[in-house]
DNA sequence: CTGTTAGCGCCTTCAA
DNA sequence: TTGAAGGCGCTAACAG
């Protein structure tokens, strides 16, 4: 019942030419090698008629290239962000004729090795290694043996991994932008929700948080504004946002704006403000980061800097394919672009949670 | 620099045996064919030492089987649901030694064909076809040419696709359960948010909504309870939930419970209730469907029936692999289990939005 | 018990 | 301008 796949030699037979000729025609190298137009047409017509599709396995075996990418990420939680990344990567790959194997490690190093092995066994042309929470990590050895780009990962350790291409969100800049937004709209009593005032201890999402914080502080300092308070949180979730914001309100310190370190904290902040009878943005403005799905659904709509998942994933994919098609990779001596870091901006989604007090 | 992959014959050479012998040993068929223990050890040892990994392309070419699945879905929106499905499918596949190619069509039929071709070119062993919103659709021809299971899709049209294995959420049952929950806790003035009272016109998420509605009505009728009102929505998003709930309140009809058809509508309902000074659940109970991420973060926590994405995807994957390994597929005459429909229950996530009024 | 042989389907010299 | 031959790495018959 399974109509067996049509092979190239069947097409050649049908067209009355040699398999190699058919191969050339179908690979589009006919002109280059001056194959008669009639032969070309016969081949194409036969291929069409038989519904010929090349066997990618076979071609891959022969050429050593499969037009296939591997996408490996950790993180099972926080999946809204990851989902879009995977999707964007797949789209970008597809647009250039690549398919992608997707794997998730859940942070398990052994599983990661297995996954990478399985992909490497299937001869993927390159790898995208991603984490959902920007952070530093060791790069598995497998990654240094083939073209690889790091998505949202800052590599630590040597082993040549330092010169892998990296795609990262521009957190520092986002921190600056957020602070500037508040300053420009006349806010002076700003509280930070999510991290303490010291960038050195900006746990738990180390890199992102620390960079954002530094960015924000640089702008505020320049404007001569002191943070009223900065509330560290161990989990960036609504209950924490609620708790911290309630604390701020209870302490009775002046407060005209909350700089929340992600939308979930902001959601908690909204709830706390709401239950205390404070209005957003009339009494307190709120700015945040991520642009989670629900940000637009909060009332009033949450003004937030979008984590550029799609742009990052697309960029990573394009960089990877460039790398592959240029024929370089991390293992090479790489006189070229190898090791570049690409920072992707976090665009502002301006909604209704920031008042103009200027 | 790229250490070339070690091949089987190198291992055989190193171990001093023939390639085929090495192949048998490494495939675990050594005992079966009584290969001397010493030879076995030498082979294994050599493989280990050289870091041998079989080339899956080559094996696939030879055996016609790749331990690779394709996962193709439409839907770009509503991604929270899809993300988890993909992830669960990948995990389930991985657990049985399969990798998965992921593709998204965004509803574009041409793209879908291309994607399926690309996967078929790469010799996937089977296919999972998914949609994010349960609905009926035509099944592409490619799917009938290899083992395929339908995830969250009700096929229409003939072409043999009717006997594909299907995995669907048990919406009817969920509707019953939701209604029963409200009835058992003493609610009598129930409004439905999201669909009108007539199952025939339960647009827009046709199947799911209609089934849920029928289920709910069956229980309510049996309990002798009439719906106070049923509010159809064209979009199941918070603004609609807000609008419809506000309308219910304004009309001043008695209301002790809201049966929202998804969490986003429920979110809007919460907001409307909140802004009118009504308390959940003291004044109005709310039950919903999906268990979106934010359901637990609403205050009070939203009681909802979880859309069983993970269970569904895992089930679909396991069914598919069973199918593959049993060597059947849709094209066969299939005297067996072919064409089964598997209904996956929607488990209750009981939180704080339902009061006990009994 | 082990080795030889013959492809899987394609691509790429090389010779005609 | 086209055809023949060889081989990518692996597995499955079949000899030995």
Tell me, what CATH number does B88's domain have? 3.40.50.2300
Which pLDDT value is given to residue A2? 45
Asked if the bond preceding A287 is cis, omega within 30° of 0, the reply is: no
Q: Which of B171, B209, B352, B194 is nearest to B259 (CA)?
A: B194
Is the Cβ pair B117, A60 closer than 8 Å?
no
| pLDDT tens digits, one per residue of B158-194 | 555 567 899 999 999 999 999 999 999 999 999 999 9
pLDDT of res. B354:
98
Is residue A353 domain-resident?
Answer: no
Three-state secondary structure call for residue B155: strand
Q: Do the chains contact at A53 and B267, CB–CB below 8 Å?
A: no
**Strand order across the beta sheet in which B165-169 lies:** A341-344, A165-169, A148-156, A126-138, A68-73, A99-104, B99-104, B68-73, B126-138, B148-156, B165-169, B341-344
Q: Do B122 and A293 touch (CB under 8 A)?
A: no
Which residue is closest, via its CA, to the C1' of D8? A62
Q: Strands of A190-194's sheet, edge to edge?
A: A229-232, A190-194, A257-260, A285-290, A303-306, A348-349
Residue A127 has, within 13 A of its CA and on its CB side, a CA count of: 30
What mean pLDDT do residues A248-253 have? Answer: 95
B175 and B225 belong to one structural domain: yes
In chain B, how many H helices and how many E strands? 11, 12
Query: Kindly report the CA angle at A52 between A50 and A55, in degrees rounded to 5?
Result: 150
Q: Which SS3 state, helix, strand or coil, does residue B185 take?
A: coil
Q: Which of A40, A118, A188, A342 is nearest to B100 (CA)?
A: A118
Nearest to B188 by CA among B232, B244, B227: B227
State the average pLDDT for chain A. Answer: 89
What CA–CA distance (Å, rounded) separates B50 from A101? 26
pTM of the model: 0.92
Shared domain check, A154 and A85: yes
Containing domain of residue A88, as a range?
66-169+309-344
Q: Specify which residue's alpha carbon is closest to the C1' of nucleotide D11.
A: B62
Angle CA(B316)–CA(B151)–CA(B193) in degrees, nearest 5? 130
What is the predicted pLDDT for the residue at B79?
A: 62
Q: Are residues A234 and A338 in the same domain?
A: no
Tell me what the mean pLDDT of segment A245-263 comes to: 96
pLDDT at B96 over 80: yes
Residues A206 and A87 in one domain: no
Phi, psi angles (nearest 5°) of residue B154 = -105, 115
pLDDT beyond 70 at B202: no
Residues from chain B that touch A102, judged by Cβ atoms under 8 A, are 86, 90, 100-102
Q: What is the pLDDT of residue B204?
A: 54
pLDDT at A206 over 90: no
Residues of A in contact with B79 (CB under 8 A): 80, 83-84, 87
Q: What is the mean pLDDT of chain B?
A: 89
What is the distance in angstroms between the Cα of B224 and the nearest Cα belonging to chain A? 37
Q: Average of pLDDT values for A169-174?
A: 96
| From B1, B82, B238, residue closest to A297, measured CB to CB | B238
Is there a single domain that holds both residue B253 and residue B286? Answer: yes
pLDDT of B90 > 90? The answer is: yes
CA-to-C1' span, B54 to C5 (A): 21
Q: B102: distance to nearest CA of chain A, Å?
A: 6
**Residue B119 and residue B209 share a domain:** no
Look at residues B10, B96, B95, B97 and name the one whose alpha carbon lies nearest to residue B53: B10
| Count of structural domains within chain B | 3
Nucleotide nearest to B33 (CA to C1'): C1
pLDDT at position A159 over 70: no
Name the residue in chain B with its Cα closest to that of A106: B91
Same domain, B288 and B185: yes
Does A104 lie in the same domain as A188? Answer: no
What is the nearest nucleotide to B38, using C1' and CA? Answer: C1
Single out the residue in B307, B333, B352 at which a domain terminates.
B307
Q: Does residue A36 have a pLDDT over 50?
A: yes
């Amino acid at each position: 019942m399974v109509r067996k796949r049509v092979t190239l030699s069947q097409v050649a037979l049908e067209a009355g030419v040699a398999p190699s000729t058919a191969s050339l025609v179908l690979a589009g190298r006919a002109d280059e090698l001056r194959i008669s137009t009639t032969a070309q047409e016969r081949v194409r017509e036969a291929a069409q008629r038989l519904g010929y599709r090349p066997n990618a396995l076979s071609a891959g075996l022969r050429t050593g290239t499969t037009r296939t990418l591997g996408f490996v990420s950790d993180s099972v939680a926080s999946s809204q962000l990851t989902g879009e990344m995977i999707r964007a990567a797949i789209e970008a790959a597809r647009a250039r004729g690549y398919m992608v194997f997707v794997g998730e490690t859940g942070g398990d190093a052994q599983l990661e090795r297995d996954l990478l092995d399985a992909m490497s066994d299937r001869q993927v042309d390159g790898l995208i290694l991603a984490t959902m929470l920007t952070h530093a990590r060791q790069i598995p050895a497998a990654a240094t043996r083939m073209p690889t780009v790091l998505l949202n990962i800052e590599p630590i350790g040597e082993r040549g991994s330092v010169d892998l291409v990296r795609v990262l969100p521009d957190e520092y800049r986002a921190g600056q932008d957020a602070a500037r937004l508040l300053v420009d709209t006349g806010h002076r009593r700003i509280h930070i929700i999510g991290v303490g005032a010291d960038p050195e201890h900006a746990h738990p999402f180390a890199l992102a948080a620390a960079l954002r914080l530094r960015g924000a502080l640089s702008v505020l300092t320049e404007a001569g504004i002191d943070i009223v308070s900065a509330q560290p949180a161990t989990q960036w979730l609504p209950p924490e946002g609620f708790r911290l914001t309630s604390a701020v309100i209870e302490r009775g310190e002046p407060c005209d704006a909350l700089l929340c370190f992600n939308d979930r904290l902001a959601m908690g902040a909204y709830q706390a403000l709401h239950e205390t009878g404070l209005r957003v943005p009339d009494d307190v403005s709120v700015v945040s980061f991520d642009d989670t799905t629900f940000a637009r659904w909060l009332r009033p709509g949450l003004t937030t800097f979008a984590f550029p998942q799609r742009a990052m994933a697309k960029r990573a994919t394009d960089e990877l394919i460039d790398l592959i098609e240029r024929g370089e990779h991390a293992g090479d001596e790489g006189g070229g672009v190898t090791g570049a870091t690409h920072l992707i901006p976090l665009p502002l989604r301006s909604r209704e949670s920031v008042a103009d007090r200027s």
